[in-house]
Chains A and B, each alone.
Chain A
Amino acid sequence: MVKELKLAYEFDFVFDGQNVFRKLLHALANPGTTGNIAHQAGKFAGNHQALTALGCTLLDNEEKMYVEKNPNLSADLHSLTLCHEADLDEADYIFLSSEMNYGSMEQILKNVKHGTYADPQQSATVFLQCTQLTGNETMTLKGPGIKDSLTVSVYPYIKKVIALRQSLQIEYPLGVDLVFADLAGNIMGIPRLCSLI
């Protein structure tokens, strides 16, 4: 009896990875704007398609990741990219698949790698999944990538996380870069120099 083989995922690491990277690059170079990776992320199954697509774009066995309380996502990312998990304070990429309360988020942002003055690139990038990016909370951003200032309406969680990072007063060039992703595959980058006004 001939059985039909089904692919576990259809994500193409060469072409879909390139597409996701370009959208992520644009999102980080233009903070506050929204890109969409739904087409590429939709090639994975599960509830964390966007995070999985972002992980598969950037991770490999040279990097370390930390996945907060989500063994399924951690196992998927490891099996797809060979990236190993590490403690929070050693990880290069942090994946938060659910919305965190204020205290937990503060602990995470305080304890992740901020880089050093000589090597500020040795800092963590945090990927945060939230229900949606757009919402009824208005925030105004400034920083490189933004002409004068940019006012956008976002999901309240996003503004809270950015405000929290800002309250930690991490001295530039040290810092943490944030990337928000929602269930519809929208992504928004908030690099370390981008701040609320």
Chain B
Amino acid sequence: MIDAKHYNFAFLDEGSKREIRRSILKAVAIPGYQVPFGSRELPIGRGWGTGGIQITLSIIGKEDVLKVIDQGSDDSVNAVNIKKLVEECTGVELTTDSEAATIIQSRHRIPEIPMRNDQILVLQVPTPEPLRIVEPKESVTKQMHAEAEYSGMWLSLFEDLTQYGEISISSEYPVMVEGRYVMNPSPIPRYDNQKLNNSDTLYLFGAGREKKIYAIPPHTDVESMCFEDVPFKTEDFEGKRCRLCGAQGVYLDEMIDESTGEKVYECSDTGFCRGRRERGA
């Protein structure tokens, strides 16, 4: 752990933590609504997970066990650097086991193993505003949320449907939270959208560059936006399995086997895959 004389516990000063904590509580009270906050400077560039880091640093305590993943991987550069930063300025225990963690910070994935009520998932968000694709001005999108004026969003989905025959959004698929706010679930794949609905766990979303915090409390109604006659579809992994652990029915990464040139699949959630192999599943 870095010298406590020079840095406060969890890096941020207490005033910053308090403001972020107050914003988190408001976000929990108004699910799906983007609460503005004063995003702080961190020793990492904006756009590299500073929103998630600020949330993690504001909620973490000495007793917590932290897991950080990036695109499902425990070992990617972003995840490793964030882990090191938090560990150095808090001294908390780190893990790659989803079930052992009390706080999981993630970018682009929700762990395969369903999370519990005593855990918190912190998601890093690059572009929190789901309406940005239909309206570039922040002042206008804010008013659109105020009036629940989401016809532009529906039209955007419809145009996509007419152009491609299906809704082609692969990640950041917009959701409706508690029938009131359209929300960007962060760039998770569509496969993970269903994990947001009526979950046991608390989801906190942090966008450092865009200075927004939002949340989905446990057991909140989260519906992926779709039409009555065009149901929401997730990615299809029918007939495919992980080449390392053999798992089926999980989110898989597609890659090319360099020796044979064939498409092969591996679990996107490396902690889950490693756990299965260690247990000999």
Contact = CB atoms under 8 A, between A and B. Distances in A.
Interface of A: 13-15, 17-19, 21-22, 24-26, 28-30, 57-60, 62-63, 116-118, 120-121, 123, 125, 144-147, 172-173, 175, 177, 191-193
B31 A21 contact: no
Contacts of B193: none
A62 B198 CA distance: 35
B19 A25 contact: no
Interface string B177-189: 0101100000000
A173 B180 CA distance: 8
6 contacts: A14-B9, A24-B25, A29-B215, A60-B15, A62-B19, A121-B23
Nearest to A16: B61
Tell me the dominant secondary structure on chain B's binding face: mixed
Contact of A172 (B15, B62, B180): B180
Interface string B207-227: 000000001011111000000
B68 interface: no
A157 B246 CA distance: 56
B18 A144 contact: no
Contacts of A18: 10, 17, 59-61
B31 A193 contact: yes
B28 A25 contact: yes
B146 interface: yes
B161 to A, nearest CB: 29
B31 A144 contact: yes
A28 B62 contact: no
B94 interface: no
Contact of A145 (B10, B23, B142, B217): B217
A28 B23 CA distance: 13
Contact of B61 (A19, A62, A144, A175): A19
Contacts of A145: 28, 217-220
A40 to B, nearest CB: 12
B18 A58 contact: yes
Contacts, number: 103
B25 A25 contact: yes
Contacts of A28: 25, 28-29, 217
A25 B142 contact: no
A57 to B, nearest CB: 7
Contact of B28 (A29, A147, A175): A29
Contacts of A120: 30, 33
Nearest to A122: B26
B116 interface: no
B117 interface: yes
B217 A29 contact: yes
A144 B33 contact: no
A121 B213 CA distance: 11
B202 interface: yes
Contacts of A62: 15, 19
A153 to B, nearest CB: 21
A22 B60 CA distance: 8
Given A60-B15, A145-B218, A25 B24 contact: yes
